[in-house]
Structure formats: C-alpha cells, structure tokens
Amino acid sequence: MRAMTPDNRQRHRLYGRSAGKPLSARAAGRVEDMLPAIAIPETAPGALAPAALFDTDPREVWLEIGFGGGEHLAGQAALHRDIGFLGAEPFLDGVAKVLADIEREGLTNVRLRRGDARLLVEQLAPRSIDRVFILFPDPWPKTRHRKRRLIQPEFLDALSRILKPGARLRFATDWADYANRALADVGRDGRFAWTAEAPGDWRNPPADHVPTRYQEKRLGDCAPVFLDFVFEETA
C-alpha cells in the first residue's frame, strides 16, 4: 500500500475538471515539446530551490498560484525578465495558452507546474519566494463548499514558510464574501500587513497589475477587489 505522504494525502479539491475540449494540434505540440523543458520537477517537501531552476541567477523569484490563461504570468514575466517566475495551474487549457505566450515573447524566465499548487508550495525551500499572486481563484460561492477555498489558515501557514521577510502577497477576487473572509483570515494570521492606505485602495487595480481574461468577464458578484500584503513574520 502506498504511504500517505504530503503529496498524496486526501485534500479538498480546489478545482473541477483539469481539461476541457481537446487541444488543437499546435497547442498539443507546444505541451509536448515545450513543457518538459520548463516543467518544475517534483521533489521532497522543502527541497526545491526555485532560483536553481533558471539558466541565470534571477534577482527575485515570484510565484503565481492558479494562473488561468496565463495573461498575468506572461505579462509580468515579459516586464521583468530579470525575475524568475513560477506558475502553477491544474487546467491543461491554461498551460497550453501560456506556452503560446512564452513562445511568442521569447520568455526564458518562466517555469511551470501543471497540478495542485499546494503540492508545489510544500516542495519549495523555506524563505525562497519574494512575491506571490493569487488572482481570482475559484470562489466556491456555496456555503457548503467554502472549505474548498484556497485562502484558509492552513494555507497561510504553508505560504509563510516559503516567503522571505518583506515578501509581497497579492490576492484578488470578484466575490464580496471571499474578499471579506480572506481579509479577515489574513488579518488574524498576524504575519501579514495590509498595505492599503485609503478605503478605495482595494477597489483599484495596483499600478503594476496585468489584467486577466477572467477578470474582464466580470463573472462575480462585485467589482474586482485587490488585497496586497507584506509578510512580516511577526506571529
């Protein structure tokens, strides 16, 4: 019998299907040819040194959890070619889309993991990440499903292990209840300082934000909310 390790123990699923319609021949070819070369390898918990994944030593390493179609991930990577970017996404369609952007922009500073981002977070070395983006994750709006939301005290603990002191965390959602609960959970954690200075700060996209396709669809019950935090490790 297979042992219950951090990589295979029972978890609440954060997403539904991991693939939709069959990929086009060109998209499937990118997945087959490009992904193996930039895929983030599986390691033991805490053993993955992200800076070592890149051909040149990155100034910082940023992580995007659930990058969707990859618009934000590829856009930030194109703007900051001296930074190493890690992206985790379970959906094959999203992986295929961002591979097209990586090819078109000639990006060499992106590494990808197709799968549950929580496993990647567990495998990353302590104090190895300078910035994390969690943009418009599945809101699980039904009350009985809220335990499936990504932002939970347990996951904040996991993030706190991999973040460097002074690292930034950005969370965005277009569901009012999720915004309120995430702000409350992060506030209670005690290790993150909210950077807002005025009431309107969370209603306006940050100056360095790259819009996503999902964001522009406005599928939630409120206008997009952006919460930026600094990790202070004071708890």
What DSSP string describes 117-149? HHHHHHHBPTT-EEEEEEES-----SGGGGGG-
* Averaged pLDDT, 51-62: 97
pLDDT computed for residue 2 by the predictor: 29
Total residue count of the chain as it appears in this document? 235
CB of 27 closer than 8 Å to CB of 96 = yes
Are 71 and 213 spatial neighbours (Cβ–Cβ below 8 Å)?
yes
Q: What are phi and psi of 33, to 5 degrees?
A: -95, -40
Rounded Cα distance between 39 and 61, Å, is 15
pLDDT tens for 108-165 read 999 999 999 999 999 999 999 999 999 999 988 887 878 899 999 999 999 999 999 9
pLDDT in tens, 66-93: 999 999 999 999 999 999 999 999 999 9
**pLDDT confidence of residue 234:** 59
Structure tokens of 202? 């969370």
- The pLDDT, as a whole number, for residue 41 is 97
Instruction: Please name the helix (run of DSSP H) or strand (run of DSSP E) that holds residue 120, with its range, or none.
Output: helix 117-123
pLDDT tens string 8-54 = 444 455 444 445 578 899 999 999 999 999 999 999 999 999 999 99
Query: Mean of the pLDDT values across residues 180-184?
Result: 94
Contact status, residue 174 vs residue 225, Cβ threshold 8 Å: yes
Q: Which residues contact 200 (CB under 8 A, 6 or more apart)?
A: none
Which residues lie below 8 Å from residue 197, measured CB to CB, with a gap of 6+?
Answer: none
Contact 101, 170 (CB under 8 A): no
Whether the per-residue pLDDT at 221 is higher than 50: the answer is yes
Check whether 4 has a pLDDT greater than 60: no
- Residues with a catalytic annotation lie at 138
71 phi and psi angles, rounded to 5 deg: -60, -45
How many Cα atoms are found within 13 Å in the side-chain-facing hemisphere of 30?
17
Domains of the chain and CATH, by start:
51-231 (3.40.50.150)
CA distance 65 to 116: 9
Query: Which residue, chain included where needed, has tokens 């295979």?
Result: 8
Residue 188 pLDDT exceeds 50: yes
Residue 36: Cβ-neighbour burial (10 angstroms; 0-12, 13-18, 19+):
exposed
What's the rounded Cα separation, in Å, for the pair 175 and 224? 8
Residue 220, pLDDT > 80, answer yes
Q: Which amino acid is at 214?
A: Y
Strand-pair partners of 140: none
